[in-house]
Amino acid sequence: MLRHSVVAKLMASWLLVAGLLSATWCLANPLPATIDKVRSSIVAIGTVRPVKAVKAKGIPIKFMGTGFVVGNGQHVITNLHVLPDNLDTKNGEVLSVFAGRGSGAKSTPARIKAVDAVHDLALLELEGRGLQPLTLAKDAYIREGSDLAFTGFPIGMVLGLYPVTHRATVSAITPLVIPAHSSASLTPEHIKRLRHPFEVYQLDAVAYPGNSGSPLYDVNNGSVLGVINSVFVKETKENVLQKPSGITYAIPIRYANKLISENP
């Protein structure tokens, strides 16, 4: 009887320690819970054609990039370069937002409500049902060395619509200069950008073109601090490199906040 009692006490002590370790690990690593919180608000951006037009014009769905739901649930922020230059409206092609995971993903038609070409941002408005929005951080820059994360669709719909999360560290806050192709193409706007370049976040993380438009967020609470930009910024800052550098950039959320506030 005594032996069984000792074993029972040891088991109880082990379970208590295991529980405390598990709780400590969860507190030290809040990211899993934060991913669960933000996942349903992260969407894919693409176009859809009616099935009847597919034979003549190719695949029915084209993936363009990532976005995330904001405001009252009817709006989505993404990168401007993610959007198609033209829609084949004659064959019924429409801009769409895809929400959900895997085979359960559903598309919702969307329209472009406003754009910010300088900061490569676009605000979309959903037609029909709204989605769960994310919380956007204030305009202040975050500190270098901050640990963040971003979630998006780096390989699009190749393996189904499954969001992928990467951790990221803010390596630097660095100015962005958008050069003109030649002196003949210099405009007052170009000159203004060269004199007053805005700053972007340089991240110690790897992102791919499909990640463009992904939210960069606080691992503790999911508040969005920036918008991943793996094409527009990289081509500007790293056009002299022959190979990818393995770093990523993000547009600070202050510019998305401004775009939203000016287009309620």
Domain with CATH 2.40.10.10 in the chain: 36-126, 147-261
Reported pTM: 0.80
Query: How many angstroms separate the CA atoms of 7 and 27, rounded?
Result: 30
Write the secondary structure of 217-257 as one string of H (helix), E (strand) and C (coil): EECCCCCEEEEEECCHHHHHHCCCCCCCCCCEEEEEHHHHH
List the CATH code of the domain at 147-261. Answer: 2.40.10.10
Mean pLDDT of 60-70: 93
Q: Is the pLDDT of residue 111 over 90?
A: yes
- Give me the architecture of the 36-126 domain, per CATH: Beta Barrel (2.40)
For residue 109, give the amino acid letter. Answer: P
Q: Please compute the mean of the pLDDT values over residues 239-252 and round it to a whole number.
A: 70
172 by DSSP, 3-state: which? strand
76 band by pLDDT with thresholds 50, 70 and 90: very high
What is the radius of gyration, based on Cα positions, of the chain? 22
As a whole number, the mean pLDDT across the chain is 82
Nearest to 98 by CA among 52, 8, 163: 163
Q: How far apart are CA 127 and CA 96, in angstroms?
A: 9
Mention every residue, 6+ apart, whose C-beta is less than 8 A from residue 151: 35, 38, 39, 42, 163, 164, 165, 166, 214, 215, 217
Using CA atoms, how far apart are residues 258 and 192, in angstroms rounded to an integer? Answer: 19
Amino acid symbol at 60: P
Question: Could you tell me how far CA 251 lies from the centroid of its own chain?
Answer: 10
pLDDT at 257: 98
What was the pLDDT predicted at 16? 55
Q: Does the pLDDT of residue 112 top 90, yes or no?
A: yes
User: How would you classify the pairing of strands 42-48 and 75-79?
Assistant: unpaired
Tell me: the pLDDT tens digits for 166-210?
A: 999 999 998 876 554 555 555 565 566 566 678 999 999 988 889
Residue that has been written with the tokens 């202050």 in this structure: 254
| 74, two tokens | 């009817």
Cβ-based neighbour number of residue 216 at 10 Å: 31
- How distant, in Å, are the alpha carbons of 56, 198, 213 from that of 95? 19, 30, 15
Per-residue pLDDT, averaged over 150-171, amounts to: 88
* Res 38: pLDDT: 97
pLDDT value for 18: 45
